[in-house]
Amino acid sequence: MSEELLKLNDVSLAYDTPEGLLPVVDHLSLGLEKGHIGCLLGASGCGKTTVLRAIAGFEPLRTGTISLGAVVLSSPGFMVEPQDRNVGMMFQDYALFPHLTIEKNIGFGLQHLDKPARGKRVEEMLELVGLTDVARRYPHELSGGQQQRVALARALAPEPELLLLDEPFSNLDVDTRERLAFEVRDILKSTGHTALLVTHNQAEAFAIADRIGVMEKGVIVQWDTPYGLHHQPASAFVSDFIRREALMAQRAQAYLRGEGS
């Protein structure tokens, strides 16, 4: 049996707001196997990003534990610092440094390596994401899809044990988004990385993930394979959610073919 790398056990999260405590995530548990790509899928506001931020070490836990391998990263009153978690992050807005070349952006998190080792690692990363030709360019000289591949290379360069991706494709046009989702899956699979992605886009989730957690109001209602979600939805909510998005995609395609409005 494969080993679970990331484990969330009974995790609850809440924000302190001027109106009082806002509970956002309610006793959530999940396990992600080493080398797998997981995805939290759900409507806006259901708590996906909050879960990701907690795994990255930016939100304290009210209950439960988050662990990576044998190491507990968070529990109530205890948090390993974000920089000490060996967790990489990639966001929707690329977050590249505009004044640094692509190779310098990728090498940014590698200050602990000497110059030759850093150069070698940057070269490997450029090759991995297919951007060797543009190493000396600046971010604004690249397309959105290319910039996101740079962001991926930069996140993977320090060899994190786990990669977190927050809506990484949502700023891209539909064609680029689908292509890049498949590309990112291939890249992560070729390197054997474990990753957890957050999205509200079902097509993206199904394109990239080995396990999908459908979230509703701070809980995971089903954590399953894409096949399992389609063929054995655990509740009416899951089957409605999956069906509704499939229907919307069909309608959009019919509209583009000029068959409806």
Residues 6 or more apart in contact with residue 183 via CB below 8 angstroms: 149
Helices (H) and strands (E) in the chain, counts: 8, 11
Tell which residue, 210, 237, 236, has the closest CA to residue 223: 210
Per-residue binding letters, 166-205, with ligand ATP (x by CB under 6 A): ----------------------------------x-----
> Does 213 help bind ligand ATP (rule: CB under 6 A)?
no
Site for ligand ATP in 25-44 (CB under 6 A): 42, 44
Residue in 10, 21, 22, 132 binding ligand ATP, rule: CB under 6 A: 22
Q: How many beta carbons lie within 10 A of that of residue 6, not counting itself?
A: 24
Stretch that binds ligand ATP, among 14-22, 87-95, 143-151, 234-242 (CB under 6 A): 14-22
What burial letters (b/e) apply to 41-58, b meaning 16+ CB within 10 Å?
bbeeebbbbbbbbbbbbe
Q: Which residues share a beta bridge with 195?
A: 37, 163
- Taking CB under 6 A as the binding criterion, the range among 47-55, 87-95, 109-117, 246-254 that sits at the site for ligand ATP is 47-55
Among 7, 28, 47, 155, binds ligand ATP (CB under 6 A): 47
* Residue pair 219/213 in contact by the 8 Å Cβ criterion: no
Asked if 24 interacts with ligand ATP (CB under 6 A), we say yes
Residue 8 is a binding residue for ligand ATP (CB under 6 A): no
Report if residue 45 touches ligand ATP, rule: CB under 6 A.
yes
Considering only CA atoms, which of 83, 129, 122, 128 is closest in space to residue 100?
A: 122
Among 28, 46, 55, 106, binds ligand ATP (CB under 6 A): 46
Q: Does 48 bind ligand ATP (CB under 6 A)?
A: yes
Burial class (CB in 10 A: 0-12, 13-18, 19+), 123: middle
Single residue of 9, 12, 29, 49 touching ligand ATP by CB under 6 A: 49
Q: How far apart are CA 201 and CA 245, in angstroms?
A: 8
Pick one of 15, 58, 97, 182: the residue that binds ligand ATP (CB under 6 A): 15
Nearer to ligand ATP, 43 or 249 (CB): 43
Interface positions with ligand ATP (CB under 6 A): 15, 17, 22, 24, 42, 44-50, 200
